[in-house]
């Protein structure tokens, strides 16, 4: 989904007048008559016109804001799920370290136990 605010370079709180002013500036810059044969400028002009059409209409802007919010929420949830998945490498190392510490503890207890038995009090 295209972010109309980014296309026009305005903030979420931009007024209709601010949007209109920016649109006119960009439309003049990228208009096909001013850039004959320039496919990039033509595509940019189309994007700018579509963004202006959405942001200048209250209902379309409201729907666009809702869609952006939903997309942002999905991206956030996906990133969190990705960040909180333990990698198998770290889980394996935690297991290995735990086993090593357990074995060291057993060896220590066995040595302590045998050294105390061999002492005559």
Instruction: Give the mean model confidence (pLDDT) for residues 17-40.
Output: 96
| pLDDT tens, position by position, 98-107 | 899 999 988 8
How high is the pLDDT of residue 19?
Answer: 96
Rounded Cα distance between 10 and 6, Å, is: 6
Domain containing residue 109: 86-121
Q: Provide the percentage of residues in the chain whose pLDDT is more than 90.
A: 64
How high is the pLDDT of residue 7?
Answer: 96
Say whether both 76 and 91 belong to one domain.
no
Inform me whether the pLDDT recorded for 11 exceeds 70.
Answer: yes
Say whether both 94 and 60 belong to one domain.
no
Within its chain, how far is the Cα of 105 from the centroid?
A: 45
| More confidently predicted of 115 and 105 | 105
Structural contact between residues 8 and 51, judged by C-beta atoms closer than 8 angstroms: yes
Rounded Cα distance between 46 and 41, Å, is: 9
Say whether both 80 and 90 belong to one domain.
no
Say whether both 55 and 98 belong to one domain.
no
Structural contact between residues 64 and 53, judged by C-beta atoms closer than 8 angstroms: no
The pLDDT mean for the chain works out to 88
Count of structural domains, the chain: 2
Inform me whether the pLDDT recorded for 56 exceeds 60.
Answer: yes
Instruction: Give the mean model confidence (pLDDT) for residues 2-25.
Output: 96
How high is the pLDDT of residue 52?
Answer: 97
Q: CATH number, domain at 80?
A: 1.10.287.110
């Amino acid at each position: 989904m295209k972010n109309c605010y980014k296309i026009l370079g305005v903030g979420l709180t931009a007024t209709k007048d601010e949007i209109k002013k920016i649109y006119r500036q960009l439309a003049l810059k990228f208009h096909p008559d001013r850039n004959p044969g320039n496919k990039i400028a033509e595509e940019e002009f189309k994007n700018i016109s579509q963004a202006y059409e959405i942001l200048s209409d209250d209902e379309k802007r409201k729907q666009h804001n809702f869609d952006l919010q939903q997309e942002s929420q999905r991206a956030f949830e996906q990133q969190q799920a990705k960040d909180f998945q333990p990698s198998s490498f770290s889980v394996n190392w935690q297991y290995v370290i735990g086993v090593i510490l357990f074995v060291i503890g057993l060896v220590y207890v066995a040595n302590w136990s045998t050294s105390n038995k061999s002492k005559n009090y």
